[in-house]
Amino acid sequence: MRRVASAPAKAILFGEHAVLYGAPAIAVAVDLRAKVSLDNADEWSLNGQSLVPSENPHLASLIRWASVEDRPQAIDVESDIPIASGLGSSASLCASIGALLVPEPISKERIARAAHNSEAEAQGGRASPVDTSTVTLGGAVVVSNDRWPGIDHRWDVDLSGPDGDRHWSIHSISLSSELRSIPLVIGSTGKGSSTAKMVASVAARMHESEFRTSMNRLVACAEDSIHLMLGGNPISVGVAMNRCHALLREIGVSSPEIEALIEAALPHSIGAKMTGAGGGGCILALTEDPESCATAIRSAGGEAFVTRMGAEGVRIEDFSEFS
């Protein structure tokens, strides 16, 4: 029987890099989606091709988690989410498949845990739960090292890996109607980025006094942003985006390609910033004039997607039990 689920893309609004130094990360689900269908088959396949576990470690991990190795499925994926862009395409795929692999509907917490474990296994024991939690829960999510007061705590995540034991607390926050309705334009540089390389470049400079001062300001900016998101005023959030981007540029994780898109987007935006590890990837622009903003981004050489934050998380579109 054919079963269908979908999950949104995600964008980190605040907390890049600073999350590694004690700050929370604030991410939002945006209304680009990946849709996955599963159907009974004679062998495991992905978009018509035999599924090779070594080439698809995320999916192989999920299949083992669900204990359905002997119940092959044809997996088909349709996605609006650009890959390798920092928008959580892998997490969206994992959450959608995880929601379908067991023969009954399961909780979002269980889906998020399975998706995070699959990403961690595929990445050699290193994976933050930001992406998988956000695409599963939808809306806006705060991930921090400890429980954050005044917001809705959902669950905790622990991971043992080559870098030692890690702990995260997952929270959700309600977005105001103003933040849900204002467009968020995503601009892609088309240039890939190595998260590991960018994280290492920051770590290598943490011994510098001025650099640590900038990082402390970035941590404070991320912490302040929780209150701004709860306040729900798009102008305040946009101003904070500008401030945080200036600090990210100051610590050296921006790039000429990112700056070109920021410069193009700002005249049409309340606020704009890079999202993710930097060195490439995407920018976000909060704007009341999305068409002009998107046109400017395209004119500067980027690809533009007009979205809104607060999208629904993973959902079952159609579900029947395994035969």
Do residues 77 and 46 lie in contact, with contact meaning Cβ atoms separated by under 8 Å? yes
- pTM score: 0.91
What pLDDT is attached to residue 320?
Answer: 65
Active site residue 76: no
Do residues 133 and 116 lie in contact, with contact meaning Cβ atoms separated by under 8 Å? yes
Q: Region 101-115: what's the mean pLDDT?
A: 92
Angle between helices 57-66 and 89-101 (to 10 degrees): 20
Q: Region 87-104: what's the mean pLDDT?
A: 92
Radius of gyration from C-alpha coordinates of the chain: 19
Question: In which band, very low, low, confident or very high, does the pLDDT at 128 lie, cut at 50, 70 and 90?
Answer: confident
* pLDDT above 70 for 161: yes
User: Count of CB atoms within 10 A of residue 54's CB?
Assistant: 6
* pLDDT above 70 for 99: yes
What pLDDT is attached to residue 192?
Answer: 78
Do residues 218 and 244 lie in contact, with contact meaning Cβ atoms separated by under 8 Å? yes
Average pLDDT of the chain to the nearest whole number: 92
Q: In the chain, what percentage of residues exceed pLDDT 90?
A: 71
What pLDDT is attached to residue 93?
Answer: 96
Of 131, 146, 158, 224, catalytic:
131
What pLDDT is attached to residue 123?
Answer: 78
* Helices and strands in the chain, H and E counts: 10, 13
Q: Over the stretch 39-85, which tens digit does the pLDDT of each residue have?
A: 999 999 999 999 999 999 999 999 999 999 999 999 999 999 988 78
Structural domains in the chain, CATH included, are 3-175 (3.30.230.10), 177-308 (3.30.70.890)
Q: Over the stretch 176-220, which tens digit does the pLDDT of each residue have?
A: 999 999 999 999 999 877 666 877 888 888 888 888 888 889 889
Instruction: Annotate 128-186 with DSSP letters as a single string.
Output: -SHHHHHHHHBSEEEEESSPPTTSEEEEEEEEEETTEEEEEEEEEEPPPHHHHHSEEEE
Question: In which band, very low, low, confident or very high, does the pLDDT at 26 lie, cut at 50, 70 and 90?
Answer: very high
Residue 50: what residue type?
S
* Cα atoms found within 13 Å of the Cα of residue 65, Cβ hemisphere only: 25
What pLDDT is attached to residue 183?
Answer: 98
User: Which residue spans within the chain are E strands per DSSP?
Assistant: 3-14, 25-40, 45-46, 49-50, 73-79, 140-144, 152-161, 164-173, 183-188, 271-275, 282-286, 303-308, 315-318
* 3-state per-residue secondary structure call for 92-107: HHHHHHHHHHCCCCCC
What pLDDT is attached to residue 208?
Answer: 86
As given in the structure block, the two tokens for residue 168 are 């995260």
Q: Region 308-320: what's the mean pLDDT?
A: 91
Max distance between CA atoms of the chain, in angstroms, equals 63
Q: Region 113-141: what's the mean pLDDT?
A: 91
* Cα atoms found within 13 Å of the Cα of residue 269, Cβ hemisphere only: 30
- Of 1-5, 74-78, 183-187, 301-305, the range with the lowest mean pLDDT is 1-5
Question: In which band, very low, low, confident or very high, does the pLDDT at 97 lie, cut at 50, 70 and 90?
Answer: very high
* pLDDT above 80 for 35: yes
* pLDDT above 90 for 124: no
Q: Which residues contact 4 (CB under 8 A, 6 or more apart)?
A: 35, 36, 37, 38, 100, 316, 317, 318, 319
